[in-house]
Structure 1
Amino acid sequence: MTLLPTRNSQLAFSRATFRSVPEMLDYAARGETGVTFYTARGERLAALTWCEIRDRAHVVARKLIGAGFARGDRLLITADTWPGFFDTFFGAQYAGMLPVPVSIPVGIGGKEAYLEQLRRQFAASGAVAAVGIDDLAGFLAEAAAEFPDLRLHGGVGAIDSLPEKPVDLRPLGPDDDCYIQFSSGSTRHPHGVRIQQSALMANLAGITGPAGLDVVIGDRAVSWLPLYHDMGLIGFLMAPLSSQLSIDYLTPRDFARRPMQWLNLISRNRASIAYSPSFGYDLATRRGAMQVPDDLDLSTWRVAGIGGDMVRAEVLERFAAAFEPKGFNRSAFIPSYGMAEVCLAITFCPHGTGFRTDTVDRAALGNEQRAVPAADSADAQTARRFVVCGRVLPGHQLEVRDESGTVLGDRQVGRIFVKGPSIMPGYFNEPEASHAVLSKDGWLDTGDLGYLLDGEIVVTGRAKDLIIVHGRNVWPQDIEWAIEGRRLVKTGDSAAFSVDSGEGERVVVAVVARVSGDEARAELARDVAGAVREAVVVDCEVVLVPPALGLPMTSSGKLSRARARANYLAGLYAPPPSSTKPAAA
């Protein structure tokens, strides 16, 4: 199978100058570039040019229109990384329907939780059809049983079996919505973000432009990011499509099994753009650095983006150290900040600067909500290091405000607010939830905390995850990173949260116990409690999580502290054999 070209030989390069998704796919279909799907072993499964994707989408659209689905109807799609997702997502666009991409099951023993998630997403979106990979057809059928308005559900064959009728296409246009994106962590009360065509186009212009990734002729993208998440769907489908790039895909599952294949694809196909949350770089370093192929060459990788979770400097430092001998340039790192409610991107760091950090006094940060530069002699117990996440996109505004709404100056920590053409108009059919985060004059309360530094944003955490102990702010990431830094548990195997005991907040730390025997489990709990006490000077209750259960994740693969707290309150986590619960004061 011949590698799809990186450049179009005849079609002129156009960077995000379109008004709708069908319009940009129609343009890309005039060239030779497209998408290729790879296995965990790096073998090509399928390759489709944008022209073939457009033609297949037209067939799906005529089947959907011919089956009587109305313009504006919602089509739920389990968004695995496979050609069928492209068929149905783009087919819905040409049929005038709104796609609703949702996650596939994650983890072991999660059937009932996944079915409940599907039911809530069906209810929230009002979907009238649901399709996905054949392996999930049974899940869709079981969840759909409670929704009589769901007229079609099943694997890809559910649409294939429909007759293709000679009907006119009715593509979504510039004034229409584009799709519904369920935001991360919203499994209990899912909020469907309305993504408008105009907002998406504005965000794509920022992402691909000079203030973003600065996409150029000859760029090629490689991605393992899930297509049900905004960073995967917009960052590594819509953005490359809007610039007529070729994309090479691994599934998230295959990346998790063999993370070196991500780097191998970048090397083999001479790719220049790839993105990951910090945990992806960490996984590639931990599992891949010991088995680096002799011929690995990362010298073409000019944009190594980071986003989707708290950017961790030490992870990026380890990755750069491991792969600089293979041509990786640490100046390619581009930290960024974004969220689904703004389509995807809010800020980017400038090209060629790599990642930059700001080290601040931990006491002033927690007690005074000020980012005071730390003394040169400060250590990890008295200082905290953050990665700078860049400037807001052109045409957008960003402010940091205190609880009263007063706009704060540099180095003052508060809630981050943004405004601009990429902002959602609201959550789908949820006016109260929309009103809670959107002001009448268009400002979005992101729910994140941070501070400005010479016009760039530094994100310090989520406001809802913040732990307040005796009037002092404690970030859960500080606790988790202290535990992981001691090598007590694997990265991602700890979750810190607080529980209101009625007499103030109590800190709880849940850790995955990958040890056996009462003595080893008790020792793990004592060591965790000691590490927390030393790092952030608080006592905590340690509870142990069975490895088979693991810690809960959002659909985008991020730790869900809210669900970990709920699991704790439900009694799913066990105390250690020798309790480490702090004594009552």
Structure 2
Amino acid sequence: MKSLPTRNSQLALHRAGFISVPTMLDYAAEGETGVTFYNAKGEQLSALPWREVRERAHVVARKLIGAGFARGERILITADTWPGFFDSFFGAQYAGLLPVPVSIPVGIGGKDAYLDQLRRQFAASGAVAAVGLDDLAGYLGEAAREFPGLRLHGGMDVLHALPEKPVDLRPLGVDDLCYIQFSSGSTRHPHGVQITQRALMANLAGMTGAAGLDVVVGDRVVSWLPLYHDMGLIGFLMAPLASQLSIDYLTPRDFARRPMQWLNLMSRNRGTISYSPSFGYDLAVRRGATQMPADLDLSTWRHAGIGGDMVRADVLERFAATFEAAGFNRNAFIPSYGMAEVCLAITFSPGGAGVRTDTVDRTALGEQQRATPAADPADPQRARRFVLCGRVLPGHRLEVRDPEGKVLADREVGRIFVAGPSIMPGYFGEPEASREVLSDDGWLDTGDLGYTLAGEIVVTGRAKDLIIVNGRNVWPQDIEWAVEAKRLAKSGDAAAFSIDTGEGERVVVAVLARVSGDEAREALARDVAGAVREAIAVDCDVALVAPTVGLPTTSSGKLSRARTKANYLAGHYASAPSSKPAAA
């Protein structure tokens, strides 16, 4: 099988500017570009030009309409990276139904946890149909038992079995919703973000335009990001579609097993745009140090985006140092900031500038909530480095406010608020939850903390994760990174949070214990506590967690500190809070 072309021979590049997802696909279908799926060995599984994606979607749409599904009803789709997702998602768009993409089972937690997640998402979305991978048909069926309103559920065979009737398509239009997105941290108490066609088009215009990725003829996209996450679905399906680009896909599972295939695809297919959270770059470095092919060529990679979690300058520097011999240009890095409630993107760093950092005084940051430049940036105990994430997209506004709502000046840390055409109208069926984050004049409380610097945003962390010890603000990432820096845990193997002991806040660090024997476990707990004390100057309890139990993650693979804390308090990691290191 040949890979699909990078350029359309006749169709002119149309960089966003559409009114809906169906109109985007209609235009892209006139060219030769499309999507190609690869396995963990880098072997091509299938290739679908956008023309074929549209044809298959039309078939599914006529089946759904013919089956009696009403316009505006919801269809839940397990969003793995495979052609069936494209069939059902775009089929729903042409049938006038609202897709609800949800995750496949991720991490450790088992069948019961995934069924619980599905039931919550069924209830929150009011879905009347649910389709997905054949391997997950049993899960869908079992979860559906409690929802008599679900009229169709199973693998793709249940869609294929529907008769295709000669009915008119009824595509979603400019004034309609587009789909419902469960944000990555919302599997436990899910909030379905309503993505409108109009908001999505505004976000895509900003992302693909000069203030974003500045897409040009000849760009080609490579992605392993999950399609149930906003960065995967919008950033690496909708944005390339809006620009008629070809996409090369790996599944997230195959990337995790063989991360170098991500870079091999970039090299082999001359990819120019790809994104990853910091942990993806870190994983590639760890594997690439021993598995780098001699012919790896990353010289065409012009936009290496970072988002989805805190941007880590140290990880990106190691990636650049590891792969510069293969032609990677460190100036290709584009740190950015976004969230599902704004479709995806809020800010982009300028193209070609690479990673730019601001090093501030830890004491002023923690005690005064002020990002004062560090006197000695090289002193890790007194200095803290953050990455600048760029300016807000054109047509949007961003403010940093104090608890009373006052807009703060540069270098004053507060809560980040945004407004503009990409903002969601609210959470599906949840007016009270919507009012908690949306003001009457259209401002969204992101729940993130940060500060401005010469018109750019610097994100310091999630407000709900912030640890306050004796009046001092401590960022959990600083604690976790201190443990990693001593090589006591891999990236993602430590989670920091605080608990109320009745006498004040106490810091707890849960760490995966990849050691055996009481003596080794005791030494690990002692070393973790020492690393935190040395780097952050706080005492902590240590909970050692068996790797078979694992630390909980969100659907997008981010560490869930809130669920880690809940597990700890429930006694899953330790019997009770204690001043001594606690064993699982």
Output the TM-score relative to the length of structure 1: 0.98
Shift of 1:377: 5.9
Q: 1:531: how far off?
A: 0.7
The equivalent residue for 1:143 is 143
Give 1:575 deviation, angstroms.
6.7
Give ranges in structure 2 of 5+ residues lacking alignment: none
State the partner residue of 1:87.
Answer: 87
SS in structure 2 opposite 1:477?
helix
Tell me the equivalent position of 2:122.
122
The answer to whether the aligner puts 1:554 opposite 2:554 as a matched pair is yes
Assess if the C-alpha contact under 8 Å between 1:36 and 1:45 holds in 2. yes
1:17 & 1:504 partners in 2: Cα distance? 54
1:68 aligns to what SS in structure 2? coil
Deviations 1:83-128 (A, max 9, x none): 0000000000000000000000012442111100000000000000
Contact 1:542/1:575 (8 A) holds in 2: no
Cα distance between partner residues in 2 of 1:377 and 1:166 = 69
In the alignment, the residues of structure 2 paired with residue 345 and residue 425 of structure 1 have an alpha-carbon distance, to the nearest angstrom, of: 16
| Paired position in structure 1 for 2:426 | 426
1:537 is displaced (CA, Å) by 1.0
Which residue matches 1:256? 256
1:285 aligns with 2:289: no
Hey, what's the Cα distance between the residues in 2 that align with 1:361 and 1:215?
A: 38
Q: 1:115 and 1:140 mapped to 2: Cα distance?
A: 8
- In the TM superposition, what whole-angstrom CA distance separates every residue of 1:264-297 from its partner, at most 9, and x where no partner exists? 0000000100000000000000112211111100
Measured after TM superposition, the shift of residue 70 of structure 1 is 0.3
Match of residue 530 from structure 1: 530
Q: Secondary structure at the match of 1:395?
A: coil
In the alignment, is residue 334 of structure 1 matched against residue 334 of structure 2? yes
Give the Cα–Cα distance (whole angstroms) in 1 for the partners of residues 240 and 378 of structure 2.
43
Q: Deviations over 1:372-411 (max 9, x none)?
A: 0001365111110000000000000000000000000000
Q: State the alpha-carbon separation in 1 of the partners of residues 127 and 243 from structure 2.
A: 31
| Mapped contact 2:369–2:413 kept (Cα < 8 A) | yes
Q: What's 1:172 paired with?
A: 172
Alignment partners' CA distance in 2, 1:575 and 1:267: 50
Q: Would you say how many aligned residue pairs link Structure 1 and Structure 2?
A: 581
* Secondary structure in 1 matching 2:217: coil
Give the conservation status (yes or no) of the 8 Å contact 1:525–1:580: no
Structure 2 counterparts to residues 429-448 of structure 1, below 5 A:
429-448=429-448
- 1:201 aligns to what? 201
Q: How many Å separate the matches in 2 of 1:184 and 1:249?
A: 20
Matches within 5 A, 1:456-535: 456-535=456-535
| Corresponding letter in the other structure for 2:565 | R
Instruction: Report the Cα distance in structure 2 between the residues aligned to 1:86 and 1:389, rounded to whole angstroms.
Output: 31
* Mean Cα deviation higher: 492-501 or 417-426: 492-501
Report if aligned partners of 2:359, 2:377 keep a CA contact under 8 Å in 1.
no
| 1:390 corresponding residue in structure 2 | 390
Alignment of 1:187-336 (within 5 A): 187-336=187-336
- C-alpha RMSD of matched pairs (Å): 1.1
CA distance in 2, matches of 1:309, 1:449: 13
Kept in 2: contact 1:130–1:150 (CA 8 A): yes
**1:52 counterpart residue number:** 52
Q: Deviations over 1:229-285 (max 9, x none)?
A: 000000000000000000000000000000000000000000100000000000000
Counterpart code for 1:354: G
Give the structure 1 partner of residue 63 of structure 2: 63
1:409, 1:284 → 2: CA distance? 38
TM-score, length-scaled by structure 2? 0.98
Matched to 1:265, the amino acid is L
Is 1:351 paired with 2:351?
A: yes
Provide, for residues 51-82 of structure 1, a one-character-per-residue CA deviation record: whole Å limited to 9, x for no partner: 00000000000000000000000000000000
Greater Cα offset, 533-542 or 107-116: 107-116
Query: Given residue 176 of structure 1, which amino acid in structure 2 is its aligned partner?
Result: D
Go from structure 1 to structure 2 and tell me whether the alpha carbon gap of 1:30 and 1:377 turns closer, same or farther (over 3 Å shift).
closer
Determine the C-alpha separation between the residues in 2 that align with 1:409 and 1:119. Answer: 45
TM-aligned CA deviation for residue 133 of structure 1: 0.2
Report how far residue 503 of structure 1 moved: 2.2
3-state DSSP of counterpart to 1:36: strand
In the TM superposition, 1:375-386 aligns within 5 A as: 375-376=375-376, 378-386=378-386
Distance 2:109 2:386 in 1: 36
Aligned to 1:72: 72
Q: Which secondary structure does the structure 2 equivalent of 1:275 belong to?
A: strand
Alignment of 1:149-160 (within 5 A): 149-160=149-160
Distance 1:189 1:209 in 2: 35
Write the distance in 2 (CA, Å) between the matches of 1:290 and 1:322: 10
Q: Tell me if structure 2 keeps the 8 A contact 1:529–1:580.
A: no
* Contact 2:203–2:344 (CA under 8 A) maintained in structure 1: yes
In 2, Cα distance between equivalents of 1:475 and 1:376:
20
Counterpart-to-counterpart distance in 1, 2:373 and 2:277 = 26
Deviation string 1:25-63 (CA, Å, 9 cap, x unpaired) is 000000000000000000000000000000000000000
Partner of 1:366: 366
What is the alpha-carbon distance in structure 2 between the residues aligned to residue 160 and residue 549 of structure 1?
39
Question: 2:78–2:102: 8 Å Cα contact kept in structure 1?
Answer: yes
Residue 515 to residue 97, structure 1, CA distance change in 2 (3 Å): same
Secondary structure of the 2:422 match is coil
Q: Distance in 1 between matches of 2:297 and 2:136?
A: 38
For residues 137-171 of structure 1, the C-alpha deviation after alignment (integer angstroms, 9 at most, x for no partner) is 00000100000000000001010000000000000
C-alpha contact 2:108 2:552 (8 A) present in aligned 1: no
**Matched position secondary structure for 1:150:** coil
For 1:544, what is the secondary structure of its paired residue?
A: strand
- 1:562 deviates by 0.3
What is the identity, as a one-letter code, of the residue corresponding to 1:339? M
Asked if structure 2 preserves the Cα contact closer than 8 Å seen for 1:544 and 1:575, the reply is no
Q: Distance in 1 between matches of 2:400 and 2:377?
A: 29
Partner of 1:400 in structure 2? 400
CA contact (8 A) 2:361 2:373 kept: yes
Which residue of 1 is the match for residue 24 of structure 2? 24
3-state SS in 2 of match to 1:285:
helix
CA contact (8 A) 1:230 1:340 kept: yes
Indicate the residue corresponding to 1:545 in structure 2. Answer: 545
Query: Secondary structure of the residue that 2:181 maps to in structure 1?
Result: strand
- The residue aligned with 2:7 is 7
Q: Distance in 2 between matches of 1:500 and 1:45?
A: 52
For residue 194 of structure 1, give the secondary structure of its aligned residue in structure 2: strand
Q: Is the 8 A contact 1:60 1:91 kept in 2?
A: yes
Counterpart in the other structure of 1:566: 566
User: In structure 1, what is the Cα distance between the partners aligned to 2:109 and 2:487?
Assistant: 28
Which letter maps to 1:526? Answer: R
- The answer to whether the 8 Å contact 1:306/1:336 transfers is yes
- The percentage of counterpart residues that share the same residue type is 81
Residue deviations 1:275-327 (CA, integer Å, cap 9, x gap): 00000000000112211111100000000000000000000000000000000
The CA deviation at 1:574 is 3.5
Q: Does the 8 Å CA contact 2:21/2:93 hold for their aligned counterparts?
A: yes
